[in-house]
Amino acid sequence: MQHLTNFSRFTFLLENSSGTEKGNSVNSAYEKRFSCIPKKVLPFVVSVAKDVEGFKQKLGVDLPTLILLTKATVGILGRETQFGNYTEKTDIASEFARDELNLGPLIDWGLKTFSTKTGKKFTQSLGMGQITPEFWSRHNLEKKIGSYNESFDDKSQGLAVLYGLADRYKLGLQKGLKKQPSVNPVLQKYGLITGINGTGNNVLDLAIVGHNMGEKIMTLWCKTNHPLYAAPKEGGSKYSPFQNKESFNPKSKLLAKIQDPSLKKFPGELTVKLDEVIPNFFPNLKGPGHTAIGYVEDVAKYMKQFSCLDSLGTK
């Protein structure tokens, strides 16, 4: 009978295109108070609203920063899965197998084995926030939230994004990143962008895109001996923008704008000018199916809709 119950729930999840229906019940007073927030995200927002002082202490931030990070968290959930309204069927099946059938250890073993045999890293990005097991481990979320294999409800997904975002934001500030508008002088010079419509806060912009790209993005960027390429300061005096010639695209949108033939060539290894930091630089690195600038602009656009979160610290 239990197997029939599990199968019925799995069918329900597939038909509703989201594996995060658990914990969706929210007091109507909170629905009214946070009317600007999509309903599927409310369980997360309410959990923060009920324990504002606790979250300020756990994250090590003040109230304005908590509000800012909460807005950004909801924006990331929107960018990743349209607030849980867009979920791959394979993701739902994996969440079901991990949560309901307790197959998480077997799945992890299979992914690790396959990665070892092929030499390529295979993992899973699951839930409304598209969280990976590695992300869960890196931010110590087993202790802060619970098991990854039981993390696919709306509240846990939001909390996971928030904890990771706060970690990166504080790391960026420690490394000297500033709360000023992000820029990319090279792309602006050649007319590929007129500016970056981010949050107006470079360290937050980088922390947002770091949801996919990790903590390595939280660094100052420097000029190099090549006018088209900047380099992360932490990488040292030498930097290779591309792993090899095969990964270099000579027909990129940027190179199409360049007149000097010498600048169109594979750059190889560059010399980093460590004493020439580019203030508030935002790299247009590619992630899974998006560019970094496009990602942060989408999140920033969502954040502008969440003014009701400004009342987060009031009763």
pTM: predicted TM-score of the whole model, two decimal places: 0.84
Q: How far is CA 172 from CA 216, 287, 291, in A?
A: 10, 19, 20
* CB atoms closer than 10 angstroms to residue 301: 14
- Specify the residue for token string 């946070």: 34
Residues 136 and 68 grouped into a single domain? yes
Residues 74 and 51 grouped into a single domain? yes
pLDDT band at 196 (very low <50, low <70, confident <90, very high): very high
Query: Mean pLDDT: which of 12-26, 142-156, 164-178 is highest?
Result: 164-178
As a whole number of angstroms, the distance between CA 214 and CA 13 comes to 30
- Report which of 263, 272, 309, 287 is spatially closest to residue 80, judged by C-alpha positions: 287
| Range with lowest mean pLDDT among 82-91, 161-170, 263-272 | 82-91
Tokens of residue 228, six digits: 């088209």
Residues 127 and 198 grouped into a single domain? no
Query: For the residues 45-53, what does the mean pLDDT come to?
Result: 96
Residues 44 and 72 grouped into a single domain? yes
Residues 43 and 115 grouped into a single domain? yes
Residues 134 and 211 grouped into a single domain? no
Residues 305 and 289 grouped into a single domain? no
Residues 28 and 148 grouped into a single domain? yes
Residues 21 and 125 grouped into a single domain? yes
| High-pLDDT (> 70) share of the chain, % | 77
Task: Taking the CA atoms of 165, 169, 175 and 177 in sequence, report the sign of the dihedral they define.
Answer: positive
Return the pLDDT at 307: 96
Return the pLDDT at 19: 46
Residues 95 and 231 grouped into a single domain? no
* CB atoms closer than 10 angstroms to residue 222: 21
As a whole number of angstroms, the distance between CA 283 and CA 241 comes to 11
Residues 201 and 168 grouped into a single domain? no
- Report which of 113, 107, 109, 77 is spatially closest to residue 93, judged by C-alpha positions: 107
Q: Which residues pair with 287 in a beta bridge?
A: 290
Q: 274-298: buried (b, 16+ CB within 10 Å) or exposed (e) per residue?
A: eeeebebbbbbeebeeeebbebbbb
What is the domain range of residue 268? 185-300
Structurally, how many domains does the chain consist of? 2
Residues 99 and 219 grouped into a single domain? no
